[in-house]
A and B are shown apart, each in its own frame.
Chain A
Amino acid sequence: MCMELQLGLALPGSDTWSRPLLKLSLYEDINVNSKKRGFDHGYLEDEFSAASFKNYEKGLVGWPPVETWRRKKLRCQVHNHMTAAENGYCGGRASNSTYVKVKMEGVVIARKIDISIHQSFEKLTTTLMTMFDIFSHFPFIFGSVDENRRSFKLTYQDKEGDWLIAEDVPWR
C-alpha cells in the first residue's frame, strides 16, 4: 500500500495555502529501512531549550528500549481499538513502517521521519522545521517557536490529488 502525501508549508501572510513557499513531499516508502533510522534522527540538534522537548520529539532512536516487534504489536492493537480495520494501517498486509520520506523543494538531501513517534501536528511541524533548518533559511522569522510554528500550515495531498488541510483530520 503506497500512500502519497504532499505537505506544503505556507508562510504567514500568504493568502492561500495552495501556493506554498515550501513544499514538503511525503512518500510512504514501502521498502523503507525502518531500521536505518539511526542517523536521520541523530541529525536533529537540540536547538531549543531542553525543557520544551522530550525524548519523542528529539527523535531518540531505540529509547525507551522496547523491542521493535513489541512496539509494533502493541501499536497495532491501539489502532484497532480506535479506527476501523479497513483503514489498512495495521492489518496483515499493510506496511508496518511508519516512516515517511520528507523532501523539501530546493534541498537535495531528503530526510526520513517516523510519524508514529510524534503525538500531534504541532510536534510534527516543529520537528520538520528543525530538520530542514528553516530558521537559518528564513532569518526574518522572529518570535518564539510556538508563534513561528503556528504561522505555518501543514497541508497534504491525498491519492485523488486534492489538497487538504492536515489538521482537519484527527492525528491518528
Chain B
Amino acid sequence: MASRHVTKRAKYKTTIKDPGTPGTLRLTLEKILFVPHNPKSAGKLDVEFRFIKGQKHTKEGSNKPPWLNLTNNQNGSFIFEFENYSDLQYCRDFVGKVLAKSGEVSEKPTVTYPDEQLSAAEMELRIKLLQEDSELQKLHKQFVLSDVLTEAEFWATRKKLLDTEANKKTKQRLGFKSAMISDIRPSTDGRTNKVTFNLTPEIILQIFAEKPAVHRAFLSYVPNKMSEKVFWTKYFRAEYLHSTKNSIAAAAEAAEDEELAVFLKLDDILASEARWKIRRVDPTLDMEADEGDDYTHLPDHGIFRDGSKDMTESQNELYRRTLSQDINRHAAVVLEGRAVDVDLDDTRAVAEALAWSKQESSTKRESDGDTNQERLARVSRMTEIEDLQGPNNLPSAPLCIKDPRDYFDSQQANALRTSGDALGRTEQIKCSLSTQEVYGSLRQSISVIKAMGLKDPIVKPEVAHQVFDALTNSISTTKYHIGKNPHESVLDRLPKKTKDELLHHWTSILELLKHFWASYPITTSYLYTKVNRLKDAISNIYPQLEEIKGSVPSELRHQVSLLVHPMLQALDAAIQHYEADMQKRSTGSVDKPNGYV
C-alpha cells in the first residue's frame, strides 16, 4: 500500500451546525486521531477503525464545504471539514481502503464498504454483483484492493450495473435447456449389460415439467411405495420400451406392472391441459374449430384413399407415443419457461415446488376473463395490412445480451462463412488521413447537417453495415482463421490455464486502459495521481504477458503471441501517450507557477 497513514488539517464538528474545532486529522490503518490546534479545546478524538461502519462526503462543485462524515456502529458520526477537496478525496479514499480491508478481515465474502453516500441497499447491491460475477470480483480484487483504482473509480465505469432499474432487466431467468431430455444417453461399463443414467436435479425438473404424469406418480409413490431409485429405474425402463417402438411389448409389460403402466400410458393430465389451452388459442389458427365445421370429412365420407392422405396404424393407441409429440411438448415447456426457482438438490423439494406453482397457475387460469379480449386483439392485428396505413407501435423488448463474447463468437462464424471476401476489401479501404483532412471532413459534415438538418439515420446504413461487418469479422479473427472447423476456436485449443489467464488479462487491461484514457486531459491533481498509479499498474503487466508467452508449449507460442500482440500494442500506446504528456508538462510547467500540475 502506498501510504500507511495520512495527515491533514481539518476541522472537527460534532454536528453539521457546529462551527468546528480546527486541528490535525491523522488517519492510520487502525485508528482515526484528531488533535485540536488548541490543546485546551475538548475536540480530541481517538477512534479505532473497526468501529467505523461507513462514510459519506460532500461533492466537489456543490455549495457545501468539503466535509467527510464517518459513521460508527452506534449510529454516531464524526464530521470533518477540510481545507480543500483534494484533501477530502485523499482521506476518503484512504478510509475506503481501510474499511474494505477491515471488511475482509472480518471474514465477509470479498466485500468492500463503499465510500460515497451509499445507502445500505446500494452497498448490498455491489456486494451481490461481486458475488455473482467472478470476473468482476477478480478485477475488483486486483485493482481496488491493490490501490490501483479507488472504489468510486471502479464503480463509476459500471454505473449501468448499479442502476437498479437496469439491474432488474439484466437478471435473466434461467430457462430450460434446448436439448431434449431424451438425449440423456446412458453410459455403459462395457462389460456387462448394465447401463447407468446420470440424473441431475436439473434434468429431473425438466422431466417433471414435460411429463406431468411422471410428476404425479413421483409425488404419490415416493418414498412411501418405492424408493427414488426404483422409481427412476422404472421410468427408464418405460422410456426404453418407447424407444424400441414396439407398442405390443409395451402393452404387455404395462399389463403386468401397473406402476410401469403409468409411464407408458398417454398422459391424461396433458390431454386435459390441452383441452383448456385450446380455448385460448388465436382464432386465426384454430384448426380444431375447422374440424368441427368440416362436414365433408364425416367418418367415411369423402375420398378415403386417394394418395394424398397418409395411413397410420391405429393399434395399441394407448401405448403409442411419437417423437413428434415429445418434441412439441418439449418446445412448449421450454417456451413457458421455468416456473420454479428453488435450489435444485432435493428431488422431493423440486417435485413439491413444481406442484405448488402449477396449482397457482391453475387458480389464475380460472380467474382470467381478459383472454377473449386478447384473442380479439390478436385477430385484428393479424388482419390489418400494415403498409397501407400508418405505423403501428408494437411492443418491443430491449435487447439483452448477457455475455457479448458469446454473441460475437457466434456471429463471427456466420459472418466469416458468408462474406469471406468482404474482409479483404475492407482492409484495402483503410487509408491514412492527416489531421487537417479529418478536421475538414468533420467541418464539412457539420455544415451539411446545419444546412439540411439531421436526417433520420445519422450514419448512412451502408456505412454502418460495413463497419458492423468489419467489426464482427475482425473481433476474433484469429480464432477462426486458424481453427479447423468454424465452431472450434483457437482459445479452446490452448491449455485451460493459459486461456483463462489470457482472458483475464484482456479484461484487466481493458479496465486499466479505460480508466487511463478517461483521465485525460489531466485537469486536477487527483487525476494526475490516478494516471501515475495506472501507469505503474500498466507497466507491471508487461512481464506477466511475457511469462504467459513463455509458459505455453512451443507449437502454440505463435498463437499466443498473436493474441498478446494487440494487448501489447494497446499498452504501448498508453505508455507513449503518458510519456509525451509528461514531457509536455515538464517543459510547460514554468507557465504554471502555482505548482498546480
Q: Do A and B come from one complex?
A: no
Binding site for B on A (CB under 8 A): none
Binding site for A on B (CB under 8 A): none
